[in-house]
Amino acid sequence: MTKSIIDRRTLLKGTALGLGALAAPALISRKALASSGELNFTGWAGYPALAEKVFPAFEAATGIKVNFKELPDQDTMFAEAKVALEAGGIDVIEPTIDRVGAWDSNGLLGAFDESKLAMDNYLPGLADGAAGERSRPGGALKYVPSVWGTESLVVNTTDAKLSSPASLGDLFNPENQAVLRPHSALAAMGRWLDAQGKLPRPWMDGYSDMGAMVELWDIALAEAVKAKGNVVQWWSGENEANAGFTANGATVGLCWDSTGFNLRNDGYAYLAPVEGAFAWHQGFVMMKNAANVEQAHEFVKWVSTAEGAAGWASAFSSNPVGKGAHDLLDPAVAEYYNGTFNDEALSKLWWWPDQSAEFLAKRAEYADKYKAA
């Protein structure tokens, strides 16, 4: 990756996550990382490089074996975590930062001991500043970043009917066949309407005020239902998103970075809409009843190193969180991002805001109505 891209990746300046100064990265020797035992980790399905490359590298560096359980989406993870709070079996799990408040309010999370981590390893803006505040519900550190990326337009370069420039509105064009995640599609509709001045108040108001949420999501749902005829597949996890294109002939979709990366050589492109790509910030939380606490800290610390962060980001076809990791990133992933996000596209990233437990429950109702309509 070129230096200009590295500089833009250290950025996050001007985004909703904020920017703060961090010291030089801590140097962690293999001896310092050395441990033993095992870790019960629950994470995302559809990323084989984690089990094939990343976990073996972690075990080689620390002596800790990872027992990996794959789940397709965060709602399933949340349900699994609530069961594990009583039954045990999960030490570390990997939600996004916008869900941390809801997880914590349900009593699921334990606190990390910062003295056992290496917080200086993280790129500016990812574990400090506004993101650092979001990571500390109640004041204790309960979330640390693992990777960040986007949810944007995957398009068939031959058959997709696109605006100029490409827009979130293209997802609802009846001439396209779309693969969509219900709640993301509703948010895309809301943001598209907002950009056109067709909402009674800003779309973001709905994330902090439940009355505004109902007002705005009612409008987005009604408009999305009108356009629902072009949906060929719903997705909730990576495997379903890929199948929407390869098996069901979708010409456009709102999908994660990894979907676009996986299809990049098959006639598909990953584009940032004029309204700005959705951006997500993913990381680790430790269960309140974690059995392997020392191993959990070693795991989190290792993923913050250049080697660990690069491996994690390469597995997700996304962006690393650790300093020095870009130099070790899979070159194909670096080239892929370079082709999608120039400075203008990066400046328009729309970070998922915090979503309370009440908001998430209501959002799920809207997603169900959308699918059932």
Q: Interhelix angle for 293-303 vs 55-62, to 10°? A: 110
Instruction: Check residue 255 and give its pLDDT.
Output: 97
Instruction: Check residue 267 and give its pLDDT.
Output: 95
Q: Which are the contacts of 335, defined by CB distance < 8 A and separation ≥ 6? A: 1
Report the share of the chain in percent with pLDDT over 70: 91
Instruction: Check residue 283 and give its pLDDT.
Output: 98
Q: Domain residues of the chain, as ranges? A: 3-149+281-351, 151-278+354-372
Instruction: Check residue 224 and give its pLDDT.
Output: 98
Instruction: Check residue 31 and give its pLDDT.
Output: 36
DSSP symbol at 353: P
pLDDT band at 281 (very low <50, low <70, confident <90, very high): very high
Amino acid (one-letter) located at 210 = M
Of 336, 302, 300, nearest to 318 (Cα)? 336
Average pLDDT over residues 236-247: 95
Do 3-149+281-351 and 151-278+354-372 share a fold? yes
What is the residue whose two structure tokens read 């045990």? 88
Assigned token pair, 111: 């606190």
Q: Number of helices (H) and strands (E), helices first, in the chain?
A: 16, 10
Name the phi and psi angles at 64, rounded to 5.
Answer: -95, 130
Q: Are 165 and 274 in contact (CB under 8 A)?
A: yes
DSSP symbol at 326: G
pLDDT band at 36 (very low <50, low <70, confident <90, very high): confident
Statement: residue 230 has pLDDT above 90: yes
Statement: residue 24 has pLDDT above 60: no
Instruction: Check residue 168 and give its pLDDT.
Output: 98
Name the phi and psi angles at 300, rounded to 5.
Answer: -60, -45
Average pLDDT over residues 237-255: 96
The neighbouring-strand residues paired with 119 are none
Predicted TM-score (pTM) of the model is 0.82
3-state secondary structure of 270: strand
Q: Are 118 and 224 in contact (CB under 8 A)?
A: no
Weakest-pLDDT range from 15-19, 99-103, 314-318: 15-19
Instruction: Check residue 32 and give its pLDDT.
Output: 35
20 burial level (CB within 10 Å; 0-12, 13-18, 19+):
middle
Statement: residue 27 has pLDDT above 60: no
Determine the Cα–Cα distance for residues 159 and 267; give it in Å rounded to an integer: 10
pLDDT band at 22 (very low <50, low <70, confident <90, very high): very low
Determine the Cα–Cα distance for residues 188 and 215; give it in Å rounded to an integer: 16
Q: What is the mean pLDDT of the chain?
A: 90
3-class SS letters over 171-182: HHCCCCCEEECH
How far is the CA of 201 from the CAs of 270, 337, 372, in angstroms? 30, 33, 27
Statement: residue 312 has pLDDT above 90: yes
pLDDT one-digit tens code per residue, 106-158 = 999 999 999 999 999 999 989 999 899 999 999 999 999 999 999 999 999 99
Q: Are 337 and 5 in contact (CB under 8 A)?
A: yes
Instruction: Check residue 334 and give its pLDDT.
Output: 85
Statement: residue 11 has pLDDT above 70: no
pLDDT one-digit tens code per residue, 98-107 = 999 999 999 9
Instruction: Check residue 343 and give its pLDDT.
Output: 82
Class assignment of domain 3-149+281-351? alpha beta
Q: Which are the contacts of 35, defined by CB distance < 8 A and separation ≥ 6? A: 62, 63, 64, 294, 295, 298
Weakest-pLDDT range from 18-22, 31-35, 105-109: 18-22
Amino acid (one-letter) located at 188 = A
Longest dimension (CA), the chain: 60
pLDDT one-digit tens code per residue, 331-360 = 999 888 777 888 888 889 999 999 999 999
Class assignment of domain 151-278+354-372? alpha beta
Of 303, 324, 300, nearest to 312 (Cα)? 303
Instruction: Check residue 275 and give its pLDDT.
Output: 97
Instruction: Check residue 84 and give its pLDDT.
Output: 97
The neighbouring-strand residues paired with 250 are none
Assigned token pair, 27: 């140097």
The neighbouring-strand residues paired with 180 are 234
Statement: residue 9 has pLDDT above 50: no
